[in-house]
Amino acid sequence: MSEIMEILSELRPECDFRSSTNFMEDGLLDSFDVVALVDAFERAYAIKIDALDILPEHFISIDAMVQLIKKSGGAI
């Protein structure tokens, strides 16, 4: 999970992801960020995220992202 936090911090260094319970609703991430995260996760975890799984609810929190990565075959 620290690797996900590192990726988020590199993507949006001005945001405090630790204090948010919903990254999308709180405006910390937008659709462009989601595309960048998919690319970063695929490279970092050597996975392929299915296009049908690229949904806002999979990017609202660290836990949601962990579940997406695991579902896509990544080991965390």
User: How far is 54 from 16, CA to CA, in rounded Å?
Assistant: 23
pLDDT at 39: 97
Question: How does pLDDT run across 9-56, given as a tens digit for each residue?
Answer: 999 999 999 999 999 999 999 999 999 999 999 999 999 999 999 999
* Band of pLDDT at residue 76, cut at 50, 70 and 90: confident
* Band of pLDDT at residue 1, cut at 50, 70 and 90: confident
pLDDT at 63: 96
Cβ proximity of 60 and 25 under 8 Å: yes
pLDDT at 41: 98
Cβ proximity of 37 and 59 under 8 Å: yes
* All structural domains of the chain: 2-71 (1.10.1200)
